Amino acid sequence: PGLVALEGDAAAAYVSDAAWAVRYAAASRRTMVLRVAEVVTRTLGGAAELSSFIDCDHNHVRAEAPGWVHRKGAMCAHTGVRGVIPGSMGSWSFHVEGRGLPAALASSSHGAGRALSRGDARRLIAPAELRRQMRGVFFDPRLERALCDEAPGAYKDITQVMRAQRDLVRIVRRLRPLLCYKGPG
């Protein structure tokens, strides 16, 4: 994240457009959650607990003290603000609450972050290695070649990332992946 100076008509237009994009993305996430909740209710007979919905993004510009803050690949971690920090498709993800650390502009990472570029991951991680890394997580084996660039080994160790930002967020719960779905294309 970084502090940015925003002055003039072009800056006002940018902030307006960026705010529109953030609102559109939030509406899209909420719509997806509601549709999934309908399917879960219809097929399993249970009801989704929508109060547990966590809506966080990792690309926005906002007016915050001491100025405009641009978070790209980072999420808001103001005190008590809920967030989700994903690991990889085969490692833990975390529900967190922000601690509001001013020195970090009340921000935290939004995920494990890549250790390998997509191209390097495709070259270095073979399907057999993907299967080993994904042990215990269901995925469509017909897509294993396409999934190699997203293999757990292509990402940093989420446990180390969480340890490094313990002053930024408080872990509320850990989530273990059971299923990985990647659509066609």
Residues with a catalytic annotation lie at 110
> Residue holding tokens 């980072």?
74
HSE-CB for 1 with a 13 A CA cutoff: 28
Which residues fall within 8 angstroms of residue 94, CB to CB, at 6 or more apart? 84, 85, 86, 87, 158, 162, 169, 171, 172, 173, 174, 175
Amino acid at 104: A
Q: Determine contact, residues 115/152, Cβ cutoff 8 Å.
A: no
Q: How far apart are CA 155 and CA 89, in angstroms?
A: 10
Q: How far apart are CA 127 and CA 9, in angstroms?
A: 51
The CA distances from residue 69 to 63, 80, 107, in Å, are 6, 18, 10
Which residues fall within 8 angstroms of residue 135, CB to CB, at 6 or more apart? none
